[in-house]
Each structure stands twice: as C-alpha cells, then as structure tokens.
C-alpha cells in the first residue's frame, strides 16, 4: 500500500509520515527531500533562483516518478503539491494508494509556522504574526478544495502518535 499524506505546510506530514512508516514497516519518502536530492540544492534556493513555476513543474515530475515505484511506502508531499497542475488528480487516481489529508486548525498551523517562517519560501516575506495569520487563513481556504478530495481526512490536533493511531485504525 502507498500512503500519500497531504495537508498545509506545518500540518505534520513529515513527522506523522516518519512514525507511520516505521509503525507499518515501510519506507518513508519526503517529496521535498527527494526534490532537493535530485537538484542538489534547497527548496528555498530553487524558489529564489528559478521561481515557483519551475518548482511546481519539478515537484509534479518527481511526484509522478515516486508514484510509479513498485513498493509500499508513506509519502509526505509538500503543502502545495496537490494544488498545482494535475497532481491531485494523479494522487487520487492511483489504484494502489490512499490519500490522507492531515486536517490541522489554523491556530495550530500558525503556532508551528511562526518559528519556521524564515525557512519557508512562501512565508519568508511576512513581517509579523498578524500577516502570517491572514496569509495562512486565506491560503488554506484556497487550498482546502484540493485537500478535501483526499480519500481519508484525519483531524490532526494531538500528538504525532495520536495522529498515527487514528490513521492506522482507519486503514486496518
């Protein structure tokens, strides 16, 4: 089984994905890390030097390559992955995969993102927590159409272990 985690940045896709993969005894793949390995440069640098459009095309290409792997794994996508091009269509069209939306409250997202703002290309320009709050609320509203197409939706307000437990109880 291929498990594809989607959700807004800061929703815990990588943390939940690592623990879920360990619990299931399968490989964990982080889409952003795979992109950085392929390009031999950070996501931030790709955004600053080549722009978001280049990044989104590259992200879609790497996503499709990973989805073609003939093995079981847990994949943590980027926050914007399902929202560009035909990515969500490809994700939900996978026969041997299940998509899971880690649904996280705006307040929880902001609490996580306020300390990581400078390391996230889409947030680095924001000057304070009020701007971050407004940006996240608007952005999440725009992206929720794509996220809500996931096969499973999991409220992600507790610990990583709690979320992994919720996911495994829904899958098995």
Q: Distances from the Cα of 106 to the Cαs of 62, 113, 120, 136, 144, in angstroms? A: 29, 10, 17, 7, 12
85 belongs to an annotated ligand binding site: no
55-59, Cβ contacts within 8 angstroms, sequence gap of 24 or more: 56/80, 56/84, 56/85, 57/85, 59/31, 59/35, 59/84, 59/87
32 belongs to an annotated ligand binding site: yes
10 belongs to an annotated ligand binding site: yes
Kindly give, in sequence order, each residue whose CB lies less than 8 Å from that of residue 23, ignoring residues fewer than 6 positions away: 164, 168
151 belongs to an annotated ligand binding site: no
25 belongs to an annotated ligand binding site: no
65 belongs to an annotated ligand binding site: no
Residue 15 exposed, middle or buried by CB count within 10 Å (0-12, 13-18, 19+):
middle
117 belongs to an annotated ligand binding site: no
56 belongs to an annotated ligand binding site: yes
17 belongs to an annotated ligand binding site: no
93 belongs to an annotated ligand binding site: no
79 belongs to an annotated ligand binding site: yes
Q: Distances from the Cα of 22 to the Cαs of 25, 99, 102, 113, 167, in angstroms? A: 5, 18, 18, 25, 13
Binding residues for substrate: 32, 56, 79, 143
Binding residues for ATP: 10-15, 120
Binding residues for Mg(2+): 14
Binding residues: 10-15, 32, 56, 79, 120, 143
């Amino acid at each position: 089984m291929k498990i594809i985690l989607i959700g807004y940045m800061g929703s815990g896709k990588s943390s939940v994905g690592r623990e879920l993969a360990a619990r299931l005894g399968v490989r964990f793949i982080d889409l952003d890390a795979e992109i950085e390995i392929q390009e031999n440069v950070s996501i931030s640098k790709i955004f600053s030097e080549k722009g978001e459009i280049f990044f989104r095309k590259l992200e879609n290409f790497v996503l499709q390559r990973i989805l073609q792997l003939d093995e079981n794994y847990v994949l943590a996508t980027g926050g914007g992955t399902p929202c560009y091009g035909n990515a969500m269509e490809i994700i939900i069209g996978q026969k041997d995969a299940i998509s899971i939306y880690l649904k996280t409250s705006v307040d929880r997202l902001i609490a996580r993102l306020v300390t990581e703002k400078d390391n996230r290309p889409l947030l680095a320009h924001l000057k304070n927590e009020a701007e971050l709050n407004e940006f996240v609320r608007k952005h999440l509203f725009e992206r929720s159409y794509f996220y809500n197409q996931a096969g499973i939706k999991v409220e992600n307000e507790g610990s990583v272990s709690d979320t992994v437990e919720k996911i495994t109880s829904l899958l098995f």
